[in-house]
């Protein structure tokens, strides 16, 4: 990730209703951070961030597509659009410093100084993440809260609760705290040298215990060294109101298909989101490959692969190795930490198992933190095994004899020592191929993460001892695992080539393929405004730019040409479309499609479908000239996207309005929804883009019926929003003669199926029972003043009797 791509090092990873989303654009990060303080109007954001209205709405549109931002109109101000966010932060980039790096270095040299077993691996993980600039405090706090909730603590007064929390804290963490002051609440925490960096997580655990015992909420306001000691910290806790976690609809999490990598490049963490580059890294993860082998493994044109290889080598993500014959091989120069590759899972069994295994175990807080964090990452769709391999390799580099070659015994001795300390045993199964057996000393404990750590150690130690390159394979046995290593490419140089000739990486020019405009592509990449690139292009460095500039000269473009008056426009094709763009001579153009104004091009779809563009919230259908062929005259920037015909929704029993989340709202808009008749007149049809939503309004004498999630269409509403993909589930019926109402007196929000209900609930008169669930699980429900049974998710059933008036109330606290 080169100098011009630093924004990928400024990142955060969010959990939204649409899944796990990587956020790397600085403007999007600034908007998200601003909205964490509460909903805001567009004018508030433009003034706060110093953005123009058009720039803000471009950013907002992108964030809306990924589910980070919601547009709302409060009841108190129906004419004004507000933005809000319910996205939860999982991890983010942060500043590092020499102190954190020194702590990490000492930890890996002597990981057993203050910890034992899996707790030592947890400490390594914490220190390593701080060293490379990754903040995982949200994951740590989630663990602390879950562990506190799983521990039994008696309901009691404040002083007794402090004492009970102290005993539980001491048992699980091995640390101690004393009560320094009750008002304000001040504790003095005693631990090891790194205790001050763990204060946020530890105090979240303590305050959650106090809250569960007393109902009082506290938050950390200050932490400072006590009497100048490195092992004692004075923490101040302030009383606060309990805040309910915003509701997040997880119904679409199983559709989460986002792919990205977290990598360590030259000691600094960053995100990689390019599909092509992720595929390239997958292809070379086990061993270096030549360009032909990479092309055979990656589903992309050779020209695309070679250009990405050039960028990745320039940025230090990959290294070039040379064989004795001079052939180039490409291998990893970075460390893969996490790989997002699967949808989110709804299975929480592994998380519960971790909590059950540590909640009563002495000194198990850090062990549980490691296992819970890795299990939660797995649930979110991450492959976290990479991280444990990296920790093992880093430990071996920190403790191995770097000056010794050909002495694997030294490294194996180091591995055996740490393996024994974390509950594993090592033995040599065979010499050739070298196979190491790993067995657990405690079969009842989960040791798979520790075994993965040992694999990384062994692989790193072997390559340090021999200067060779090895491929690793694992054979799982009932009693443990056997790891085998086979040396490959013994004649390859292990020293990465510092400079790479452009000719060796660039694709061979052909007469039938070229970029759309080398001159204008270079122009757009080099234009700057306030020292920032006008069009940010990922993975472009000074070296690459120089190489491209040589290509410009080779094409005969004069070096003193003034490009400031060039008029170019961009053609963007939605990622859901597979299409080829041709110029007037029938030459296929390659991305980016930067064209001179007035140019006519042909767009050919791989499969016929309705396509068009969106202007001011209204979609316009394009007509093909011949089947799958479209003629486009480029007078301005144009984005082509797939459209959906929703004319089938027209119905005499209800009206509906159409809303588009892209290019719809500006600062002066008072109307975000367009009536279907007005929309149809403007666009000559009812075609919409994939980002649309429809609001239905039943006409007099009719109502909309909704499913409770169990096949019963009992809920009745006069209006409701609906995503385009879910419109088929809408059912309109005649208003029943008899209905029943349930009054929600506590002001809370409840779920009826996927529908959020507040105030009152109307159902059909023949409905026998209703199943509801409070959005906040920690709620004890009262129906007509009597507590009702709730399942493990807080859901409850109300039996409806003829003529009975139902009132729902609630109390904070654990349900039974």
The tally of CA atoms less than 13 A away on the side-chain side of residue 799 is 3
Lowest mean pLDDT among 195-199, 411-415, 548-552: 548-552
The whole-number pLDDT of residue 196 equals 86
d(Cα 695, Cα 705) in Å, to the nearest integer?
A: 14
| Contact criterion met (CB below 8 Å) for 490 and 288 | no
The whole-number pLDDT of residue 336 equals 92
pLDDT-derived band at 621 (thresholds 50, 70, 90) equals very high
Tokens of 125: 């993980």
Residues 530, 532, 534: CA angle, nearest 5 degrees: 105
**Burial degree of 212 (CB within 10 A; 0-12, 13-18, 19+):** buried
Q: Which of 261-270, 508-517, 693-702, 785-794 has the highest mean pLDDT?
A: 261-270
Higher pLDDT, 729 or 331: 331
Lowest mean pLDDT among 462-471, 675-684, 803-812: 462-471
Checking if the pLDDT of 287 tops 70, the result is yes
d(Cα 254, Cα 257) in Å, to the nearest integer?
A: 8
d(Cα 732, Cα 651) in Å, to the nearest integer?
A: 9
What average pLDDT does the segment 493-521 reach?
37
| Contact criterion met (CB below 8 Å) for 375 and 352 | no
The whole-number pLDDT of residue 668 equals 38
Checking if the pLDDT of 107 tops 50, the result is yes
Checking if the pLDDT of 534 tops 50, the result is no
Q: What is the pLDDT of residues 584-606, one digit of tens each?
A: 888 888 777 888 888 999 999 98
What average pLDDT does the segment 103-116 reach?
86
Strand partners, 588: 513, 582
Cβ neighbours around 79 below 10 Å, total: 8
The whole-number pLDDT of residue 400 equals 64
Fill in the DSSP letter of residue 5.
G
Q: Which H or E element spans position 590?
A: strand 588-590
What average pLDDT does the segment 408-424 reach?
78
Question: Scanning the structure block, which residue is given the tokens 């409806």?
Answer: 800
Q: What is the pLDDT of residues 630-642, one digit of tens each?
A: 999 998 889 999 9
CA 399 to chain CA mean position, Å: 34
The tally of CA atoms less than 13 A away on the side-chain side of residue 301 is 10
Q: Long-range pairs for 159-166 at CB < 8 Å and ≥24 separation?
A: 160/213, 161/209, 161/210, 161/213, 161/214, 162/210, 164/209, 164/213, 165/206, 165/209, 165/210, 165/213
The tally of CA atoms less than 13 A away on the side-chain side of residue 158 is 10
The whole-number pLDDT of residue 445 equals 63
The whole-number pLDDT of residue 713 equals 63
The whole-number pLDDT of residue 350 equals 92
Q: Which of 100-114, 347-361, 656-670, 744-758 has the highest mean pLDDT?
A: 347-361
Phi/psi for 407 (5° steps) reads -120, 80
Cβ neighbours around 242 below 10 Å, total: 11
Checking if the pLDDT of 628 tops 50, the result is yes
d(Cα 195, Cα 202) in Å, to the nearest integer?
A: 9
Integer angstrom CA distances of residue 271 from 6, 68, 96, 778: 10, 18, 17, 36
The whole-number pLDDT of residue 153 equals 93
Lowest mean pLDDT among 121-125, 366-370, 717-721: 717-721
d(Cα 463, Cα 111) in Å, to the nearest integer?
A: 22
What average pLDDT does the segment 602-628 reach?
89
Checking if the pLDDT of 759 tops 80, the result is no
d(Cα 128, Cα 604) in Å, to the nearest integer?
A: 50
What average pLDDT does the segment 326-345 reach?
87
d(Cα 641, Cα 619) in Å, to the nearest integer?
A: 10
- % of the chain with per-residue pLDDT over 90: 25
The whole-number pLDDT of residue 533 equals 32
What average pLDDT does the segment 130-142 reach?
93
The closest of 594, 409, 606 to 520, measured between CA atoms, is: 594
Checking if the pLDDT of 63 tops 80, the result is yes
Residues 188, 193, 199: CA angle, nearest 5 degrees: 45
The whole-number pLDDT of residue 710 equals 56
The whole-number pLDDT of residue 18 equals 86
Which ranges of 401-447 would DSSP assign to H, the alpha helix?
Answer: 408-421
CA 61 to chain CA mean position, Å: 18
The whole-number pLDDT of residue 488 equals 67
Q: What is the mean pLDDT of the chain?
A: 79
Checking if the pLDDT of 543 tops 70, the result is no
Fill in the DSSP letter of residue 30.
H
The whole-number pLDDT of residue 548 equals 37
Q: What is the pLDDT of residues 548-566, one digit of tens each?
A: 334 433 444 333 434 334 4
The pairing of strands 638-645 and 568-573 is parallel
What average pLDDT does the segment 45-71 reach?
86
Higher pLDDT, 54 or 520: 54
Q: What is the pLDDT of residues 215-240, one digit of tens each?
A: 999 999 999 988 888 889 999 999 99
| Contact criterion met (CB below 8 Å) for 81 and 61 | no
Sign of CA pseudo-dihedral 544, 547, 549, 552:
negative
What average pLDDT does the segment 726-744 reach?
81
What average pLDDT does the segment 432-445 reach?
75
d(Cα 178, Cα 159) in Å, to the nearest integer?
A: 12
Integer angstrom CA distances of residue 607 from 142, 148, 216, 572, 589: 46, 55, 61, 18, 19
d(Cα 11, Cα 2) in Å, to the nearest integer?
A: 15
What average pLDDT does the segment 11-24 reach?
91
Residues 680, 686, 689: CA angle, nearest 5 degrees: 125
Calculate Rg over the CA atoms of the chain: 30
d(Cα 631, Cα 634) in Å, to the nearest integer?
A: 10
The whole-number pLDDT of residue 373 equals 94
Phi/psi for 358 (5° steps) reads -115, -15
The pairing of strands 796-799 and 702-707 is unpaired
d(Cα 206, Cα 145) in Å, to the nearest integer?
A: 9
The closest of 138, 196, 143, 189 to 165, measured between CA atoms, is: 189
The closest of 463, 569, 456, 563 to 121, measured between CA atoms, is: 456
d(Cα 204, Cα 202) in Å, to the nearest integer?
A: 5
pLDDT-derived band at 727 (thresholds 50, 70, 90) equals confident
Fill in the DSSP letter of residue 238.
E
Longest dimension (CA), the chain: 91
The closest of 399, 439, 401 to 419, measured between CA atoms, is: 439
Fill in the DSSP letter of residue 622.
P
Checking if the pLDDT of 508 tops 50, the result is no
The whole-number pLDDT of residue 176 equals 92
d(Cα 411, Cα 462) in Å, to the nearest integer?
A: 8
| Contact criterion met (CB below 8 Å) for 5 and 540 | yes
Cβ neighbours around 61 below 10 Å, total: 17
| Contact criterion met (CB below 8 Å) for 741 and 750 | no
Checking if the pLDDT of 503 tops 80, the result is no
Q: Give the 3-state secondary structure of 742-807.
A: EEECCCCCEEECCEEECCEEEEECCCCEEEEEECCCCEEEEECCEECCCCCCCCEEEECCCCCCEE
Checking if the pLDDT of 164 tops 90, the result is yes
Cβ neighbours around 11 below 10 Å, total: 22
The backbone region for 73, taken as left when phi is positive above 0, alpha when psi lies in -120 to 50, beta otherwise, is beta
The whole-number pLDDT of residue 427 equals 83
């Amino acid at each position: 990730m080169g100098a011009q791509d630093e924004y990928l090092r400024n990142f955060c990873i969010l959990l939204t209703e649409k899944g796990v989303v990587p956020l790397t654009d600085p403007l999007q990060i600034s908007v998200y951070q601003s909205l964490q303080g509460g909903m805001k109007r567009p004018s508030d954001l433009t003034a706060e961030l110093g953005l123009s209205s058009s720039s803000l709405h471009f950013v907002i549109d992108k964030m809306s597509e990924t589910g980070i931002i919601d547009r709302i109109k409060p009841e108190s101000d129906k004419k004004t659009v507000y933005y809000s966010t319910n996205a939860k932060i999982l991890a983010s980039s942060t500043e590092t410093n020499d102190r954190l790096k020194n702590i990490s270095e000492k930890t890996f040299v002597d990981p057993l100084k203050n910890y034992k077993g899996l707790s030592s691996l947890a400490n390594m993980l914490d220190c390593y993440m701080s060293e490379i600039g990754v903040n995982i405090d949200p994951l740590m706090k989630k663990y602390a809260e879950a562990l506190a909730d799983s521990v039994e603590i008696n309901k009691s007064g404040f002083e007794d609760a402090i004492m009970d929390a102290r005993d539980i804290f001491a048992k699980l963490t091995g640390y101690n705290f004393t009560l320094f002051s009750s008002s304000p609440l001040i504790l003095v925490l005693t631990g090891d040298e790194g205790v001050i960096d763990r204060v946020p997580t530890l105090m979240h655990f303590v305050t959650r215990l106090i809250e569960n015992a007393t109902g009082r909420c506290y938050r950390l306001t200050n932490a400072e060294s006590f009497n100048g000691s490195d092992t004692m910290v004075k923490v101040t806790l302030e009383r606060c109101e309990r805040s309910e976690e915003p509701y997040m609809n997880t119904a679409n999490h199983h559709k989460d298909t986002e792919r990205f990598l977290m990598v360590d490049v030259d000691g600094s963490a960053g995100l990689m989101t390019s599909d092509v580059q992720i595929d390239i890294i997958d292809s070379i993860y086990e061993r270096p490959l030549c360009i032909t082998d990479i092309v055979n493994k990656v589903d992309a044109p050779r020209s695309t692969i070679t250009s990405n290889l050039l960028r990745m080598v320039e940025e230090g993500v990959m290294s070039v190795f040379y064989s004795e014959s001079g052939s180039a091989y490409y291998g990893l120069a970075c460390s893969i930490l996490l790989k997002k590759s699967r949808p989110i899972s709804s299975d929480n069994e592994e998380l519960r198992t971790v909590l059950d295994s540590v909640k009563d175990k002495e000194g198990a807080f850090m062990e549980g933190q490691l296992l819970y964090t890795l299990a939660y990452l797995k649930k979110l769709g991450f492959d976290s095994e990479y991280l444990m391999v990296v920790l093992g390799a880093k430990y071996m580099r920190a403790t191995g004899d770097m000056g010794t070659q050909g002495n694997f015994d030294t490294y194996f001795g180091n591995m055996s020592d740490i393996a024994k300390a974390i509950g594993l045993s090592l033995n040599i199964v065979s010499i050739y191929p070298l196979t190491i057996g790993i067995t657990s000393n405690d079969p009842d404990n989960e040791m798979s993460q520790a075994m993965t750590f040992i694999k990384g150690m062994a692989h790193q130690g072997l390559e340090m001892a021999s200067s060779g390159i090895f491929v690793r394979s694992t054979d799982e046995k009932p009693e443990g695992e056997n790891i085998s290593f086979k040396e490959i490419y013994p004649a390859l140089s292990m020293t990465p080539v510092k400079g790479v000739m452009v000719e060796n990486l660039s694709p061979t020019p052909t007469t039938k393929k070229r970029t759309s405009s080398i001159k204008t592509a270079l122009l757009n990449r080099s234009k700057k405004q306030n020292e920032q690139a006008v069009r940010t292009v990922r993975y472009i460095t000074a070296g690459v730019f120089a190489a491209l500039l040589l290509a410009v000269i080779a094409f005969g473009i004069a070096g003193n040409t003034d490009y400031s008056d060039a008029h170019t426009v961009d053609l963007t094709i939605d990622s859901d479309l597979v299409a080829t763009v041709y110029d007037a001579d029938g030459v296929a153009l390659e991305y980016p499609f930067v064209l001179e104004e007035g140019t006519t091009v042909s767009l050919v779809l791989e499969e016929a479908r309705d396509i068009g563009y969106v202007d001011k919230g209204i979609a316009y259908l394009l007509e093909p000239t011949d089947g799958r062929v479209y003629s486009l005259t480029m007078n301005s920037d144009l984005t082509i996207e797939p459209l959906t015909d929703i004319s089938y929704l027209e119905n005499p029993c209800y009206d509906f309005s159409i809303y588009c989340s892209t290019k719809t709202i500006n600062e002066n808009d008072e109307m975000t929804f367009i009536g279907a008749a007005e929309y149809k007149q403007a666009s000559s049809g009812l075609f919409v883009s994939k980002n649309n939503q429809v609001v239905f309004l039943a006409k007099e004498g009719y109502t909309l019926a909704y499913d409770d999630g169990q096949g019963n269409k009992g809920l009745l509403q006069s209006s409701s929003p609906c995503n385009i993909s879910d419109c088929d589930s809408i059912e309109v019926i005649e208003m029943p003669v008899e209905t029943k109402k349930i009054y929600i007196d506590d002001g809370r929000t409840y779920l009826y199926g996927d529908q959020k209900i507040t105030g009152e609930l109307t159902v059909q008169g023949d409905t026998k029972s209703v199943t509801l669930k409070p959005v906040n699980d920690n709620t004890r429900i009262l129906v007509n003043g009597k507590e009702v049974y709730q399942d493990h998710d807080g859901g409850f059933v109300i039996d409806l009797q003829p003529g009975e008036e139902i009132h729902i109330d609630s109390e904070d606290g654990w349900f039974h």
